[in-house]
C-alpha cells in the first residue's frame, strides 16, 4: 500500500487486526528485514495489526529532496503515525537505525507507545563516537556459493558473526533484497551529512515506564552494545539482553532465541 505524506509516496504493508504494531527497519535495508523476523511469531497471534513501513529512500519508498537528515526522517515517520495510527496507542519495534528513530519517537510520543522492542539499536549517530568491539566471525561453515553471488557473499561476511548456509540464505532473502532496492547515493549523503538526530543528547532524559526489551549483540561491530546500556535506567520495565556469538544481524543468527524474546515481550499485551 502507498500513502502520500508531505509529497512523499510512502510504501507500507499491513497484516492482521487489533493493537497497531509499527515496525521500523534499519538503514539501507527495508521492511523485508522486519517481516522476516517478526511475522513467524505474529502469524500465530491474534489481536495485532502489524504495520511495516519502508523508510524514505529504502525499499519501495522513493527518496525525496525534503528529507535530507534524520530529523526530517523522524518527522515523516511521525506524520505517518498520525495518518495511519491516529490517536490509538501502539507497540513499537525498531531495528538498528529504526531503533534510533524509535528512541526519538519515545521522547516525543511516549504516552502513545504501549511497549518498545529494539533490535541492535543505534544510540549514537556519529560512528566515530561509538564504543565498538572488533569485527569477529565466531562460527563459519563451508558451503557452495554461486559465482554470481561472490561479491554479495563478501559483503555478507563483513557483517556476519555466524556465517553458514542458513544465515546466508536469510541474509539474501531479508537483508540483501533491501540493500539492492535502496537509493544508495541518497542514503550515503544522509549518513555522511545528517545521520545524527538533533535530539540524541536528550535520550538520557527519556523516562519510559511501559514494557521494553532491548536486544544487543556482544559482537556487534556496527553499533556496539555498551552505548545502549547507558540508557538502562531510563526504562523502568526493561529487559536488556547482551547476547554472545551474535552481531548486528542477531535476528537471523540467533532465530530461536530472538523469537523467544518476542514471544515473552508480547505476553505483556495479551
Whole-prediction pTM value? 0.97
Q: Residue 18 corresponds to which cell in the numbers above?
A: 487489533
Nearest residue to 179 (alpha-carbon basis) of 196, 159, 197: 159
The tens digit of pLDDT for each residue in 227-261 reads 999 999 999 999 999 999 999 999 999 999 999 99
Q: Is the pLDDT of residue 17 over 80?
A: yes
* Strand intervals (E) in the chain: 2-5, 8-15, 18-24, 47-53, 90-95, 113-119, 139-140, 162-163, 212-217, 238-243
Contact 118, 213 (CB under 8 A): yes
Average pLDDT, the chain: 97
Mean pLDDT, range 105-122, rounded to an integer: 97
In the three-class reduction of DSSP (H, G, I as helix; E, B as strand; rest coil), residue 1 is classed as coil
Domain ranges of the chain: 2-134+183-269
pLDDT value of residue 90: 98
More confident residue, 150 or 85: 85
**Model confidence band, residue 70 (pLDDT cutoffs 50, 70, 90):** very high
User: For residue 160, is pLDDT > 80?
Assistant: yes
The per-residue pLDDT for 150 is: 86
Are 122 and 97 in contact by the 8 Å Cβ rule? The answer is: yes
Whether 148 has a pLDDT exceeding 80, the answer reads no
Position 149 pLDDT exceeds 90: no
pLDDT, greater one: 270 or 257:
257
* Residues 218-236: tens digit of each pLDDT: 999 999 999 999 999 999 9
C-alpha grid cell, residue 160? 556476519
Please give the grid coordinates belonging to residue 48. 495485532
How far apart are the C-alpha atoms of 23 and 114, rounded to whole Å?
A: 14
Q: Say if residue 19's pLDDT is above 90.
A: yes
pLDDT at res. 124: 98
Comparing 145 with 163, which gets the higher pLDDT? 163
| Cα 262 from chain centre | 14
* Correct CATH for 2-134+183-269 of 2.40.30.60, 3.40.50.1820, 3.40.605.10, 2.10.260.10: 3.40.50.1820
pLDDT at 206 over 90: yes
Average pLDDT value for residue range 44-73: 97
pLDDT greater than 90 at residue 270: no
Q: Hey, which residues does 13 pair with through a beta bridge?
A: 52
Amino acid at each position: 500500500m502507498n500513502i502520500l505524506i508531505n509529497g512523499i509516496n510512502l510504501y507500507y504493508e499491513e497484516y492482521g487486526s487489533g493493537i497497531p504494531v509499527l515496525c521500523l527497519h534499519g538503514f539501507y535495508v527495508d521492511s523485508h528485514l522486519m517481516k522476516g523476523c517478526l511475522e513467524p511469531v505474529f502469524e500465530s497471534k491474534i489481536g495485532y495489526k502489524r504495520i511495516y513501513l519502508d523508510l524514505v529512500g529504502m525499499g519501495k519508498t522513493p527518496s525525496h529532496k525534503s528529507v535530507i537528515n534524520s530529523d526530517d526522517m523522524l518527522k515523516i515517520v511521525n506524520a505517518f503515525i498520525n495518518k495511519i495510527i491516529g490517536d490509538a496507542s501502539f507497540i513499537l519495534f525498531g531495528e538498528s537505525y529504526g531503533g534510533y528513530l524509535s528512541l526519538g519517537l519515545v521522547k516525543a510520543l511516549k504516552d502513545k507507545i504501549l511497549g518498545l522492542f529494539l533490535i541492535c539499536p543505534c544510540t549514537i549517530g556519529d560512528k566515530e563516537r561509538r564504543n565498538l568491539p572488533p569485527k569477529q566471525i565466531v562460527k563459519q561453515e563451508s558451503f557452495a556459493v554461486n559465482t554470481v553471488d561472490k561479491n554479495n557473499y563478501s559483503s555478507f561476511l563483513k557483517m556476519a558473526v555466524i556465517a553458514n548456509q542458513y544465515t546466508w540464505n536469510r541474509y539474501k532473502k531479508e537483508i540483501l533484497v533491501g540493500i539492492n532496492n535502496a537509493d544508495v547515493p541518497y542514503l550515503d549523503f544522509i549518513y555522511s551529512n545528517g545521520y545524527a538526530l538533533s535530539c540524541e543528547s536528550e535520550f538520557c532524559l527519556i523516562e519510559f515506564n511501559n514494557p521494553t526489551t532491548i536486544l544487543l549483540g556482544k559482537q556487534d561491530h556496527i553499533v556496539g552494545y555498551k552505548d545502549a546500556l547507558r540508557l538502562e535506567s531510563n526504562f523502568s520495565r526493561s529487559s536488556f539482553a547482551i547476547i554472545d556469538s551474535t552481531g548486528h544481524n542477531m535476528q537471523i543468527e540467533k532465530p530461536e532465541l530472538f523469537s523467544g524474546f518476542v514471544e515473552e515481550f508480547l505476553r505483556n499485551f495479551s
